[in-house]
Every structure is written in C-alpha cells, then in structure tokens.
Structure 1
Amino acid sequence: MILRLFRRILPFIWLAVILAGTWWMMSLNSSGGDWTETRATFPICGTRGAAGCVIDGDTIAIGKRKIRMSGYNAPELSGECKVESALALRARAELATWLSAAPFEMSGGDDPPYDQYGRELRSFKRIGANGKEEWLADHMIGKGLGRNDGFRDEWCK
C-alpha cells in the first residue's frame, strides 16, 4: 500500500524538485549573487577624503576593501614596457571616468567570491543612455584598455 502511494506521488516530487531547481537557477544572474547599486565618484587613489578610489585599470578600493573587476584584464602600471605603462595609466583614468559618470551596479551581494590575493571579484554594469545594459568589461575592452579574462597577451607587441 505504501509502495503504491509512493509510486503515485513520486512524479509530483520530481516535478517539485525540478521546478524549485529551475526557479533557483533563474534567480541567479550570470555573475552570481545579488546586484548592489552604487552612486559615488571614484578618483584615482591618493585623493584625500574619497570613500572609494581607483587603484589601476581593473581594481578599486572602497574603504579597506579591494575589488577586482571581472570580465577583463587591464595593463599593469609597472608594465614590461613603456607602451604597457602608458596604456595602464589610460585604463586607470577610463575606469575612474566610467565609475564616476553615473550610478552602476556591482554583482556579488554581501558574499562575493574572492581571488587568490583576497580581492572581491565583481562584475559591473549600468543602464546606458539608450536604456540598454552597459557592461564595464565590454566598455574597457572596446576602448582597447582591457582584454578578456584568460588572455595574458603581452601589451608590448
């Protein structure tokens, strides 16, 4: 009797599990976690009185927190050549401009992932003037100031 009842309700249990799993997956965005809107100016680090600042072309500081932008790699300030160092200065300035231009959202909520250096890993986006999502990574790559993650191409070619 119990086995017959179990066989009758088993499809409904599976359906409930599938629906719950689908709902959970849809509630997450592609970068994982909640998005937090931020409205602030981000000068280059070293400016007194700033709550947040830009360290380099893909890293910012907010208080004692360091946040690494996901989706692209920027050239290094201490680059292997003058070309890379010059691009790194431009990338840092462009990041400061993008962050300060309008409100944006950061992924990760209250519990973001971290990289091997202890920096929070977050994606950044905003709604552009045209009403479409504008991703920071796409912006920096489009300007030639970033490359896709996973590519450690030389900037000095």
Structure 2
Amino acid sequence: MGRVIRRDFRKKGRNTRPTVRRQRHGPRMSLQAVSLLLILIGLSAGAVWLMFSSRQIEIGHRGKSASITVLDGDTVETSEGVFRLVGFNTPEIHGDCSEERALARRARDRLRALVTAGSTNLRRVPCACPPGTEGTRSCNFGRFCGVLTVNGRRAGDILIGEGLAEPYFCRDRSCPSRRDWCGD
C-alpha cells in the first residue's frame, strides 16, 4: 500500500501539519467472490479426485492376458492391485455347497476365457466404503473396485446373461445381502 500525504487547508491558522492516510491499491474481493473462488477450488479438487479414482487401467489386449489374473468370477488382480468387479456377484469358490462351488468355478473359468480371448479394459471406480478406507482391510477385504469390459461389453453383463452371475449393486456405504446359491 502506498502512502498519500495530504495537507488539510480547511483548518487555517491551525496546525497545517500533513496528515498521512493509507491508500488502497488494487480491487478488494467481496465475500461472494471469495466464496465463489473456494467453491471452484473445491470442485476442481473433486474433479481431480474423480479423474484419478476412475482412471483407465489397460490390462491386456487381444491374446495377451499376462497383466491380469482372474482370481474368481468377480475378482481380478493386476499390477495395480486386486479389484472386486462391481455390478454383479458370482458364487464363491469356497461356497457352502457343491453346487455353489461348481458354479463358481464355471464363472471363474468363463471370465478367464473372456479375458484371454478379448480386448480388455479395467476402470477403477469408487467402492461403497467409508472415506479413506478404500484398498485397506477395512474396505472390501483390501480390494479396489473396478468395471471390466471385454471387447467393449461389461464382463458382468456377459456372465449375468449366461446365468453365471447375478446383478449386484452397492449403494452409499453398504451393499445388499448376497444370494444363497445353495438354496435355489
């Protein structure tokens, strides 16, 4: 800020000593402008987070599946980590009955065949977990969440269409109870 010296000539006969007043330079930001700036910074930070949390991870191309390992019908492993594929659920390999275990092996084997035969793409998406726990044992058994596409189609949609999986959608921070594959 600069200093402006002004003489006060209205006070004739009195002390005509100069008075010093501060002069403001540049525009002053209003409360609305500061609020808008903070909102824009927040939105930018959110956009950056979404960009990195849902970034594309290329995990293989036609005939090459060395960068992906299918662990079961809805879980894969890449150099980026272990991913629970979202939007569908398959039976468990270590299920409660022989029918569930057999169907789980079929789902796993079918997903392996899809990954080996097609052009695959894995996109990381946010999990339905408390903030800050994604990728830890406190969230989804330490797995990240992802959507796997094979030749442009979601792997889950293919498995559901073939009767090897069921639709399964988590909301907010909770997931629905899983199907009893032995009860059907």
Q: TM-score, normalised by structure 2?
A: 0.57
Name the amino acid aligned to 1:91.
A
Moved more, 113-122 or 91-100: 113-122
* Separation in structure 2 between the aligned mates of residue 89 and residue 27 of structure 1, nearest angstrom: 39
Q: Does 1:153 align with 2:165?
A: no
Structure 1: tracts of 5 or more residues without a match: 43-49
Q: How many corresponding residue pairs?
A: 140
Name the amino acid aligned to 1:14.
S
- Cα shift at 1:138: 3.6
Q: Decide which of 13, 27, 30 is 2:34's aligned counterpart.
A: 13
Q: Does 1:105 align with 2:126?
A: no
| Aligned sequence identity (%) | 25
* Separation in structure 2 between the aligned mates of residue 26 and residue 64 of structure 1, nearest angstrom: 21
Q: Decide which of 81, 84, 87 is 2:100's aligned counterpart.
A: 84
* Separation in structure 1 between the aligned mates of residue 52 and residue 109 of structure 2, nearest angstrom: 25
Structure 2: tracts of 5 or more residues without a match: 1-23, 126-132, 170-175
- Cα shift at 1:118: 5.1
- Cα shift at 1:38: 1.8
Q: Match of 2:42, SS?
A: helix
1:83-138 superposed Cα distances (whole Å, 9 cap, x missing partner): 21221122102211332310313316xxx932537543131244855xxxx33334
Residues 92 and 104 of structure 2 are in contact (CA less than 8 Å); yes or no, is this contact kept in structure 1?
Answer: yes
Q: How does 1:48-59 map to 2 (within 5 A)?
A: 52-59=68-75
* Separation in structure 2 between the aligned mates of residue 72 and residue 31 of structure 1, nearest angstrom: 23
Pair member with larger Rg? 2
Cα RMSD (Å): 3.6
Q: Which residue of 1 aligns with 2:156?
A: 137
Residues 124 and 135 of structure 1 are in contact (CA less than 8 Å); yes or no, is this contact kept in structure 2?
Answer: yes
Residues 70 and 122 of structure 1 are in contact (CA less than 8 Å); yes or no, is this contact kept in structure 2?
Answer: yes
- Label 1:99 to 1:127 Cα distance change in 2 as closer, same or farther (>3 A): closer
- Greater relative contact order (Cα < 8 A, sep 6+): 1
Q: Which residue of 2 aligns with 1:123?
A: 146
Q: Which residue of 2 aligns with 1:47?
A: none
* Separation in structure 2 between the aligned mates of residue 19 and residue 33 of structure 1, nearest angstrom: 21
1:34-74 superposed Cα distances (whole Å, 9 cap, x missing partner): 222221544xxxxxxx5542221122334695433233321
Q: TM-score, normalised by structure 1?
A: 0.65
